[in-house]
Amino acid sequence: MAVLLAIYLVAVAQYALVLIGTGSGIGVALGVALAVLPVIGTWLLIAEITFVLRGERLVERLGSEGGLPVDDLPRLPSGRPDPEAADKQFPAYQAEVERDPESWRAWLRLALAYDASADYKRARWATRHAIRLARGA
């Protein structure tokens, strides 16, 4: 998906250059406005890839330490954990973060619990927080 987005961003940038090259006032204005999109898109793509790589490194590190939660949740037909069963285990991970709010390990386990509960927005937020804490450690 990232490769397709990169190809799209290159195509948009090329089209912006074509519009700027027309020399007409409207063409140049549209080209400059269009040139902003690849810059923003590239920045977002790099930020997303960086987030994924840092998160994966933390999960691997936690796994090598033996700190990953046991994944014994029942599964839906899609293969995802059953959110209702995950919700029942969630308070334990939340309590761990409340006991030690400066632990990136606790925040990462909480992020995994959010993910299992299908709360992806909070899972990303908790993962970002774990990354920040790990960088400061």
| pLDDT reported for residue 9 | 93
- Percent pLDDT > 90 in the chain is 74
Q: What is the pLDDT of residues 24-34, one digit of tens each?
A: 999 999 999 99
Q: Are 110 and 125 in contact (CB under 8 A)?
A: no
| pLDDT reported for residue 19 | 95
Query: Nearest Cα to 8, choosing from 47, 45, 50?
Result: 45
Residues 6+ apart with CB under 8 A from 44: none
pLDDT confidence band for 48 (50 / 70 / 90): very high
CATH 1.25.40.10 at 73-137, yes or no: yes
Question: What distance in Å separates the CA atoms of residue 42 and residue 111, rounded to the nearest whole number?
Answer: 26
The domain segmentation of the chain, as residue ranges, is 1-68, 73-137
Judge whether residue 137 has pLDDT over 70.
no
Judge whether residue 38 has pLDDT over 80.
yes
